[in-house]
Amino acid sequence: MALTVVGSIAFDAVKTPFGERERMLGGAAVHFSLAASFFTEVRPVGPVGEDFGAEQFAVLENRGVLTDDVERVPGGQSFFWRGRYEYDLNVAHTEDTQLGVFGEFEPKLSEAARCADTLFLANIQPDLQRQVRAQCGAASFSGLDSMNLWIETAKDSLLAAIAEVDCLVVNDAEIRMLTGESNLARAARAVMELGPRAVVAKQGEYGAALFTEEGYFALPGFPLEDVRDPTGAGDSFAGGFFGYLDGLEGEVDDGELRRAMGYGTVLASFNVEEFGTERVSRLTREEIDERFEALRRMTQFESLPA
Amino acid sequence: MALTVVGSIAFDAVKTPFGERERMLGGAAVHFSLAASFFTEVRPVGPVGEDFGAEQFAVLENRGVLTDDVERVPGGQSFFWRGRYEYDLNVAHTEDTQLGVFGEFEPKLSEAARCADTLFLANIQPDLQRQVRAQCGAASFSGLDSMNLWIETAKDSLLAAIAEVDCLVVNDAEIRMLTGESNLARAARAVMELGPRAVVAKQGEYGAALFTEEGYFALPGFPLEDVRDPTGAGDSFAGGFFGYLDGLEGEVDDGELRRAMGYGTVLASFNVEEFGTERVSRLTREEIDERFEALRRMTQFESLPA
């Protein structure tokens, strides 16, 4: 199996009440790829500048991530984001965004990237998402993330992009904003009427909810006493979710979507324990499976022996 | 088994985007008692005015609620609350509060009320909660709800009241405010260090989380496409939770607390489907058990045959 993801590959400057980093590896495609790398072969697609060097490539390659489709633009600067979180880590403030090479990104996928079984379109301009979707005709399962900016400025393109994927993965507030429907169950149904067979509503620390034709499933966020940096949590969730699904032998049924929600939750929880990619880049599959099992116990009506 | 609850018995005027009621039966002890009545014998304690008549008593008595400790004050007016909800039903505005007979409430419990096995102190002034707790020495399991007002104006009394109960049931924002700890897991642990063996964090539409020494459990809100009036959801949750626990033959262990969370979630979900007590007052135990089973399926990693 093989998984292609298109999205930002970036440097982040992040300050939280628990520390700060002036320039660390980040971006949706990076967090997604590292999380997915525990389950399958993953190939991020996106541009970087000359400032993106061997050290950054090594973080990806040490986890087996295939970097052939990371396009290094001569003379360019990588996407840069600076943000700050309040003591309540749910409140984030963007202080600076420099698109750099991302401003002129035209996705050109390699043969290998185009042949992926699974495709994830991380949060980028929806017309670019559609271009990538069109190049990956073979993908049997595809997903898409977006943000309020595109709902406000490119809604028609975004609706067209959503219609072309199997699974929408966005924040619950964005599902409401997109559909103009404040009731989440109704909003999710409205999205499914556009095309997707599954809708995942990310709910920050409250976890995530899955809507499908077959029913509803929800998981709380994994309870942590130490959360240091929420940056990339949603992308790590998506990486665990789509990585697990791509790694499957059989088809993506409702039970597998539920387990994928579990792996997404687990990867997101590790991601936020430290800054940027620090925790996930030295994570083990054994740690993931232990936490997955702990999460399963936490959500069962019967308490199980430890 | 027998359950005593002290709290407001009121008239509510409520306006939501889906309708309005000018004067309907409400109050924490009412919503709690109706929800608990499906599981055990419940006795609300609290004052009402002369405006509280046979029609209101009948709603309680038709569900088998014991009204001997509802104190009718001659010449008095019942507690009155007027509120309005935005299109996002999570946003409520209080437009009027008239304490009426509640302003001079001095709890005097009957012998029967004092002998309860289970006690719930709904949201009232914490010194009153302590007076009631002191009168109910026999209760083997007790719980307490509160609100931001008491955290701001009577924090020491509230902390003393919390120390005297087994289970705190409040909104997650209130747990953070009470403890000055933004991380919910740490905040819950700080509460348990005061005395309670269990902490339930109510999270509105996101559901509720349970913290105990044995571990963590969380349930999403039951997904509903039609929510008409959230008033009393938290009290119905508590009524289902403590009612179920009081109805048990055996002891309150971790597995029973988890099932109690399920019944709380189910009762809250029925409560919000219509205005005030309208839905719960004609609910059946069969409907409750059906929805409990649906909730159990929704939260399992394996999807089950319908």
Segment A203-214 mean pLDDT = 94
Residue B287 corresponds to which tokens in the numbers above? 């409907």
**Shortest CB distance from B88 goes to which of A182, A254, A302?**
A182
Under-50 pLDDT residues of chain B: 305-306
**pLDDT for residue A90:** 83
Segment A231-237 mean pLDDT = 97
Q: Which residue of A has its CA nearest to B301?
A: A258
Cβ contact B224–A89 (<8 Å): no
Rounded to whole angstroms, the Cα distance separating A184 from A171 reads: 11
In contact, A184 and A216? CB cutoff 8 Å = no
**pLDDT for residue A212:** 96
**Confidence band of A50 (pLDDT split at 50, 70, 90):** very high
Is the pLDDT at A91 greater than 90? The verdict is: no
Segment A10-14 mean pLDDT = 97
Residues from chain A contacting residue B259 (CB–CB below 8 Å): 301
Rounded to whole angstroms, the Cα distance separating B143 from B161 reads: 10
Cβ contact A218–B301 (<8 Å): no
Rounded to whole angstroms, the Cα distance separating B220 from B212 reads: 18
Buried b (16+ CB within 10 A) or exposed e, A10-34: bbbbbbbeeeebeebbbbbbbbbbb
Task: Report CA-CA distances (Å) from A112 to A29, A166, B221.
Answer: 17, 21, 43
Residues from chain A contacting residue B220 (CB–CB below 8 Å): 207, 209, 218, 220
**pLDDT for residue A302:** 72
**Shortest CB distance from B182 goes to which of A87, A185, A217?**
A87
**Testing the interface with B: which of A171, A211, A216 to mutate, by most B Cβ within 10 A?**
A216
Identify the helix (H) or strand (E) that includes residue A12: strand A10-16
Taking any CB pair shorter than 8 Å as contact, residues of chain B touching chain A are 87-89, 182-186, 189, 203, 205-207, 209, 214-218, 220, 223-227, 253-255, 258-259, 262, 296-303
ipTM for this model: 0.89
**pLDDT for residue A279:** 98
Cβ contact B258–A303 (<8 Å): yes
Residues from chain A contacting residue B253 (CB–CB below 8 Å): 303
Cβ contact B87–A182 (<8 Å): yes
List the end-to-end C-alpha distance of chain A, in Å, as a whole number.
35
**pLDDT for residue B306:** 47
Task: Report CA-CA distances (Å) from A52 to A25, A77, A107, A275.
Answer: 9, 8, 18, 19
Q: Which residue of B has its CA nearest to A17?
A: B182
Is the pLDDT at A306 greater than 60? The verdict is: no
Q: What is the pLDDT of residues A153-169, one digit of tens each?
A: 999 999 999 999 999 99
Segment A114-124 mean pLDDT = 97
DSSP β-bridge partners for residue B254: none
CA distance A225 to chain B (A): 6
Rounded to whole angstroms, the Cα distance separating A43 from A34 reads: 10
pTM of the model: 0.93
Beta-strand pair A118-121/A92-98? unpaired
**pLDDT for residue A303:** 60
Least-confidence region, from A47-61, A89-103, A261-275: A89-103
**Confidence band of A89 (pLDDT split at 50, 70, 90):** confident
Task: Choose between A272 and A215: higher pLDDT.
Answer: A272
Q: What is the pLDDT of residues A256-294, one digit of tens each?
A: 999 999 999 999 999 999 999 999 999 999 999 999 999
**pLDDT for residue A304:** 52
Rounded to whole angstroms, the Cα distance separating A107 from A192 reads: 27
